[in-house]
A and B are shown apart, each in its own frame.
Chain A
């Protein structure tokens, strides 16, 4: 069967089971958009290529399937660089297809030419520039394989226009042949056995649970591991929901804005059992002073993470779910010799009791306390609600105050910290999981970066709900300037009224609401929940002065955690 390169690409995507792509057409990718008309694949037309990338990320995180984006060459390719970098940091499986100028004009500074594979080399797991239409099925197959196996991540296929137009004889490769790519998934049995012994003997062990557990679909095994060992667990920003927050041994988020018990349990621990986490600087604070008494068992699918920041006493390369399953078996064997760690649990429990997340609940308002708004959205929705956030204060409050009971319910930009991530990512999440309510908790600064994608949401009938915690500032930067720059506020004021978020929402086909008084919060949330045919945007006027606490100042030891205003 003879196909054009473009037809072969679309057919290859169908063979990979792709149901939705996010994209925006243009010159070099034009040939690909023609066979798309005849395909079963749904195309979501975004308003900016960055939106296509983040939507594909949100889709991937909500569904566990790879997200796919198709854009054209040059500026479109550079516009999707941010989502690629974001997905690379947070290990999100993404397949991005970019158009490229014809092979004969590559290197001549042709119209809309950019060195896409060169630019994206260090922010993709791998990328391909296809120069022969015969290679298309093979490369697509390889691309999905690389994106979804091992440590997941983004890949990019650059497709020149003449290759899309060329004809090829259709085939579908039966297997992938990549001699240099063989991820280890099974943990070393001897190491697993040693790990079990070390866990049984530990006096103050703690599970340090990262996003790897979510990616590996390891929540259920993790819960069994925690139940068996009765060892408390911290869930990092990327790992929130891997263990239900209602689990008595779940301590929640550690790190710069983590709670006292989560931070201190790591500092005082004698054994960190690291599951799919990578000692991010936002978790460790000053590395030399991080968990100084702890031995480390580090389990990760990426060998390069073991020993990158902290030397592991027991390194185990493997799929974290598979290794946890093996570990369960080994732990059952040594069950009799488990050390009694009830005193340790008691100590941690007292920290939880004495130092919970707090804010001034007696405050009557207006303005609204942002934490109060998040708590109300949480309490007026079910555990099946997907929460998507941008980056900044609102993100930290969302992670602190939401109760995550399941994995893949919390979607945010962790590693790269991409402002403007939330709205497009939420669209992708809702497209992937139309059965779930999707709430965006956003800041006013973030919202302004990518709000135009709400036009996409309205047009494509993707009814997401957006709560803007509008404090009229780039809040996190303001907080740092207040705390560390003598309250010299430099370029952080945004104005609460400009733009008028309600009118803006309405102009984009959404329902726009504004809440100033605390007594109106519930009604607005309930109204948003009742609207299911279009997006809703609520402009919550929140307290400018409110800061995120606890806080470990940058570069300081976690022992120097600041609990609140009075600790400054």
Chain B
């Protein structure tokens, strides 16, 4: 046993898979201003809502950013979460994206133990998931896979067998599938009913 193997952390099994009943995807269009992410994050923490994952980046219009947040509706009704979010002055629009009707992607980076005996198997697995080897060491490989969150869960469950050294996922980004209208939640500010 070399010392590196002992530092392997079996994280794959510990990660909860998104439960479609508990987790909802909100696509939140915000003004691209200092502190907006802090306002959104603080609102979640202050009101006791749980964030499952969060991804933030500018949109094509540099006045706005899009926050894709997967929320745990066990902690509060989705309607209350969106209403509270709408009260933030920097929040422009909130759309709830139905997972059945969305293109969802997430990126995974993982460093995996891969010695001469297992290297070929790891590479094969990565190829099966249409991933890439992005860094090579003598006993380890760093791999990248871009896929839907559930495919990444599968990949994670398989790759963990070889010994994970480190793993990082980005959290999902999502867009509505083409040709079907978005379920717009309160696009008009404050309209209920």
Residues of A within 8 A of B (CB): 117-118, 121-122, 125-126, 129, 146, 178-184, 188, 190-191, 302-304, 306-308, 315-317
Complex contact A122–B43 (CB within 8 A): yes
Q: Point out the residues of chain B lying under 8 angstroms from A125, CB to CB.
A: 87, 89
Which residues of B (171-193) have their CB < 8 Å from a CB of A?
186, 188-193
B22-53 Cβ-contact flags toward A at 8 Å (1 or 0): 00000000110011001100110010000000
Looking at the complex, which one of B38, B91, B192 makes contact with A121 (CB distance below 8 Å)? B38
Q: Point out the residues of chain B lying under 8 angstroms from A188, CB to CB.
A: 191-193
Looking at the complex, which one of A117, A126, A183, A307 makes contact with B189 (CB distance below 8 Å)? A183
Q: State A191–B192 Cα separation when bound (angstroms).
A: 10
Q: State A68–B34 Cα separation when bound (angstroms).
A: 25
Q: Point out the residues of chain B lying under 8 angstroms from A118, CB to CB.
A: 35, 38
13 CB contacts below 8 A, A to B, read A121-B38, A122-B42, A125-B87, A125-B89, A179-B31, A179-B92, A180-B91, A181-B189, A182-B189, A303-B83, A304-B87, A307-B79, A315-B193
Q: Is B80 interfacial (CB 8 A cutoff)?
A: yes
Q: Add 17 more A-B contacts to A146-B89, A180-B92, A183-B190 (CB < 8 A).
A: A117-B35, A118-B35, A118-B38, A121-B35, A121-B42, A122-B42, A122-B46, A180-B31, A182-B190, A188-B192, A190-B193, A303-B83, A303-B190, A303-B192, A315-B192, A315-B193, A317-B190
Q: Point out the residues of chain A lying under 8 angstroms from B46, CB to CB.
A: 122
Q: State A129–B38 Cα separation when bound (angstroms).
A: 14
Query: Which residue in chain B gives the minimum CB-CB distance to A182?
Result: B189
Complex contact A303–B34 (CB within 8 A): no
**Known contacts A180-B89, A303-B86, A307-B80; is-contact A121 B39 (Cβ 8 Å):** yes
Q: Point out the residues of chain B lying under 8 angstroms from A315, CB to CB.
A: 192-193
Looking at the complex, which one of A129, A191, A304 makes contact with B83 (CB distance below 8 Å)? A304
Q: Which one of B31, B83, B92 has the highest number of Cβ atoms from chain A below 10 Å of its Cβ?
A: B83
Query: Which residue in chain A gives the minimum CB-CB distance to B92?
Result: A180
Residues of B within 8 A of A (CB): 30-31, 34-35, 38-39, 42-43, 46, 77, 79-80, 83-84, 86-92, 186, 188-193
Closest chain B CB from A198 CB (angstroms):
14
Complex contact B91–A303 (CB within 8 A): no
Q: State A183–B30 Cα separation when bound (angstroms).
A: 17
Q: Point out the residues of chain B lying under 8 angstroms from A317, CB to CB.
A: 190-192
**Known contacts A121-B38, A129-B34, A308-B80; is-contact A184 B189 (Cβ 8 Å):** yes
Q: Point out the residues of chain A lying under 8 angstroms from B86, CB to CB.
A: 303-304
Query: Which residue in chain A gives the minimum CB-CB distance to B76?
Result: A308
Complex contact A191–B42 (CB within 8 A): no
Q: Point out the residues of chain B lying under 8 angstroms from A126, CB to CB.
A: 88-89
Q: Point out the residues of chain A lying under 8 angstroms from B90, CB to CB.
A: 180
Q: State A117–B36 Cα separation when bound (angstroms).
A: 12
Closest 4 CB pairs of A and B: A184-B190, A304-B83, A126-B89, A182-B189
Q: State A21–B147 Cα separation when bound (angstroms).
A: 58
Closest chain B CB from A15 CB (angstroms):
21
Q: Point out the residues of chain B lying under 8 angstroms from A180, CB to CB.
A: 30-31, 88-92, 189
Query: Which residue in chain A gives the minimum CB-CB distance to B41?
Result: A121
Q: Point out the residues of chain A lying under 8 angstroms from B77, CB to CB.
A: 307
Complex contact A304–B34 (CB within 8 A): no
Closest chain B CB from A143 CB (angstroms):
10
Complex contact B31–A304 (CB within 8 A): no
Q: Point out the residues of chain A lying under 8 angstroms from B79, CB to CB.
A: 307
Q: Point out the residues of chain A lying under 8 angstroms from B39, CB to CB.
A: 121
Q: State A182–B191 Cα separation when bound (angstroms).
A: 10
Query: Which residue in chain B gives the minimum CB-CB distance to A181?
Result: B89
Q: State A317–B191 Cα separation when bound (angstroms).
A: 7
Closest chain A CB from B6 CB (angstroms):
40
Query: Which residue in chain B gives the minimum CB-CB distance to A126?
Result: B89
Q: State A138–B190 Cα separation when bound (angstroms).
A: 25
Closest chain B CB from A214 CB (angstroms):
21
Q: Point out the residues of chain B lying under 8 angstroms from A307, CB to CB.
A: 77, 79-80
Closest chain B CB from A285 CB (angstroms):
21
Q: Point out the residues of chain B lying under 8 angstroms from A181, CB to CB.
A: 89, 189
Q: State A184–B91 Cα separation when bound (angstroms).
A: 16
Complex contact B192–A302 (CB within 8 A): no
Q: Point out the residues of chain A lying under 8 angstroms from B34, CB to CB.
A: 129
Query: Which residue in chain A gives the minimum CB-CB distance to B35?
Result: A117
Q: State A308–B128 Cα separation when bound (angstroms).
A: 48
Q: State A550–B39 Cα separation when bound (angstroms).
A: 41
Complex contact B31–A306 (CB within 8 A): no
Q: Point out the residues of chain B lying under 8 angstroms from A316, CB to CB.
A: 192
Q: Point out the residues of chain A lying under 8 angstroms from B42, CB to CB.
A: 121-122
Q: State A561–B83 Cα separation when bound (angstroms).
A: 34
Closest chain A CB from B27 CB (angstroms):
15
Closest chain A CB from B30 CB (angstroms):
8
Q: Point out the residues of chain A lying under 8 angstroms from B84, CB to CB.
A: 304
Complex contact A304–B191 (CB within 8 A): no
Looking at the complex, which one of B87, B91, B193 makes contact with A191 (CB distance below 8 Å)? B193
Looking at the complex, which one of B38, B88, B92, B192 makes contact with A306 (CB distance below 8 Å)? B192
Q: State A51–B92 Cα separation when bound (angstroms).
A: 36
Q: Point out the residues of chain B lying under 8 angstroms from A179, CB to CB.
A: 31, 92
Q: State A121–B47 Cα separation when bound (angstroms).
A: 13
Closest chain B CB from A538 CB (angstroms):
41
Query: Which residue in chain A gives the minimum CB-CB distance to B189?
Result: A182
**Known contacts A303-B186, A304-B84; is-contact A178 B191 (Cβ 8 Å):** no
Q: State A302–B192 Cα separation when bound (angstroms).
A: 10
Closest chain A CB from B171 CB (angstroms):
23
Query: Which residue in chain A gives the minimum CB-CB distance to B47?
Result: A122
Q: State A182–B87 Cα separation when bound (angstroms).
A: 10
Closest chain A CB from B75 CB (angstroms):
14
Closest chain B CB from A438 CB (angstroms):
33
Q: Point out the residues of chain A lying under 8 angstroms from B190, CB to CB.
A: 182-184, 303, 317
Closest chain A CB from B179 CB (angstroms):
28
